[in-house]
Chains A and B, each alone.
Chain A
Amino acid sequence: MAASMRLLFRRVIRLSHRNVNVTAAGAPGRPAGCWEPPSCRCFSEAAGDRSTHFGFETVPETEKAKRVYKVFENVAQKYDTMNDAMSLGVHRLWKDTLLHVMHPQPGVRLLDVAGGTGDIAFRFLEYVRFQQERQKRRAARLMQAPSWQDISNNYSTEEEDGPQESRAVVCDINKEMLRVGKQKADGLGISAGLSWVVGDAEELPFDDDQFDIYTIAFGIRNVTHIDQALQEALRVLKPGGRFMCLEFSKVTNPVLARLYDVYSFQMIPVLGEVIAGDWKSYQYLVESIRKFPDQEEFKGMIEDAGFYSAKYCNLTGGVVALHSGFKL
């Protein structure tokens, strides 16, 4: 017990001296307990096996997916609690903003990739349900004194096309996260119009032209080949469909950036250790945010994939960026 506490303290002190801009040179003096030594395997693989970043480490591309899987397998149970703790609840506002910008019309189909615990899908279904109720109320207000003709029309057209058709599909590569999400859905009593699919963002198990809206919230930085994920998004979207991505990004304000860095590297792994008992996963989380391209670069990647009208807007001063593109 005392030994582990001492280990914790040593880690904290080491990390507090670490420069934020450490590149993939590997973590200095990280205990080789759970992680396999990365740099040995980098260039000893067969030709064609490139390396990518896993946080500030460099790992072979084939490794990254496995390690990300393990990370999320470990954190799945406490994922939502940790989100609330780390962002002080602000992540709910970010996701609400995503829905408001999306403004889905009744009857659209949503694909939420890396949707894990299903936050976006739940909000989507609630939003659409609210819109439909509002429309029904508006229609009812207009029909305060229906004529016999109107009443007979209402009876003849019982099958309304819009309401029951909004469907959300939550797709995630990690079964644990989906399991937690399903439990949440059962707890909230949401079941209509919701499906849970296991799938890889780089190779979605869906046909072309299936979905109206594709969202990926805080998941795309974990994908090994981001451009492939974007290509897949383009493929499964219907013409006119919208790609929306919520992701951590570069803070524009320098003062806020400094505070954010201190908070990220000092507080978040500690929170991870205390609440979820997993320091390294949250260390990975914070590092992966730093490795993700910034707003303009990601917008360029979206345009390169073939989306039109690519735009982004910064939330919370650039901590989170909401990117959007259309398949036209």
Chain B
Amino acid sequence: MAALLRALRVGSALRGLGSVVSAPAAQPPCSSLTRGFHRAALRLQDESKADKPPSSSPSSTTYHEHYRAHSAEQEAAGAPQEHSASEPAAKEASRPNTSYQDQSGEQGEEYETEEQLQARILTAALEFIPLHGWTVEAIAAGAEMLGLSSASTGMFYNGAGDLVLHFVSQCNSQLTDILAEQHNQVQLGQAEPKKTAEFLRDAVETRLRMYIPYIETWPQAMSILLLPHNIPDSLKHLSTLVDDMWYYAGDRSTDMNWYTKRAALTGIYNTTELVMLQDSSPDFQDTWDFLDNRIQDVVNMATTAKQVQATGETVVQGLMGAAVTLKNLTGLNQRR
């Protein structure tokens, strides 16, 4: 786990240089690469713990040396040259957080990136939402719980918006994991495939149940999501959510249906969410009934649409027939 975090950290530094290192996003099957980083990073950490640099050149030169030393066993042979060219990003990414760690030598979170740290703060802040609401105070309380000063909330330039968006994307990824798991179960034959309507119903219910711990303050969160500068991000999360749901429901359409299906599900999801805010029945039973009815409506509408089309064709045929008959009766059709 620690090695993975280190790999991610150093990998993201390399990504910034535009080099082609495969470590960052993928779970590393190239374990030799991460081990190489691990060793280099460990040695760097020891060296800079030994001499606290007022000038940062010693640590950077050791970093470069070790990089060159390990370049043979790493695939990123091209990286060192680019590394020496752009110091600050690499140094910033690789310098150990000696200030943030107690000196007992715990190396668990030392090499995480800023984004990971921000994610951790926001996750910790979720606990304090019932108390403070979706506000910067909640983020401050979360930071303090992690041992950081509350001044670190300044990192979140969008304030409460960052917190809400983080929570939404966290719920989305949880849902995706659950749906993928169900999909695997079906593939392995351990579970029965559900019908589309039922699948969607369960997916929406699972997703909305994630809001239950925060349902008191959820209206505040929704209003934050609707702020103009947050709308692009919140729309993006909503659209990926709906897309994922349809994908796991088995939709592979490539025509107009793609849009209509997603639009329908977006409508269902949003209206159900609003109903949930005002629901006071035990375990939100009213909400799930509402959801059932809406999905049933959509299903009915689909069948009705087909029927209407069929009926329409029949009606047109009938009218054509009537017209021909009339023409025959009046004698216009005769050919002399």
Contact = CB atoms under 8 A, between A and B. Distances in A.
The answer to whether A and B come from one shared complex is: yes
Interface of A: 101-105, 107-108, 209, 212-213, 227-228, 231, 234, 237-242, 300, 303-304, 306, 308-309, 324, 326-328
A-B residue pairs, 10 tightest by C-beta: A240-B148, A240-B152, A240-B149, A242-B151, A212-B149, A105-B150, A212-B151, A238-B149, A105-B140, A239-B100
Given A238-B149, A309-B114, A328-B117, A227 B154 contact: no
Contact of B152 (A227, A242, A304, A306): A242
Nearest to B148: A240
Given A228-B54, A304-B88, A308-B92, A328 B114 contact: yes
Given A101-B154, A103-B154, 4 more contacts: A231-B54, A239-B99, A240-B149, A308-B114
Interface in B56-82: 56
B91 interface: yes
14 contacts: A105-B136, A105-B151, A213-B149, A227-B54, A240-B149, A304-B88, A304-B91, A308-B92, A309-B114, A309-B155, A327-B99, A328-B99, A328-B114, A328-B117
B19 to A, nearest CB: 20
Q: Is the interface of A mostly helix, strand, loop or mixed?
A: mixed
Contacts, number: 80
Interface of B: 54-56, 88, 91-92, 95, 97, 99-100, 114, 117, 136-137, 140, 143, 147-155
B88 A241 contact: no
A326 B150 contact: no
A300 B86 CA distance: 12
Given A227-B54, A300-B88, A108 B154 contact: no
A326 B152 contact: yes
B154 A324 contact: yes
Contacts of A103: 136, 153-154
Given A101-B154, A103-B154, A304 B149 contact: no
Contact of B151 (A228, A231, A240, A306): A240
Contact of B149 (A102, A108, A308, A309): A108
B155 A326 contact: yes
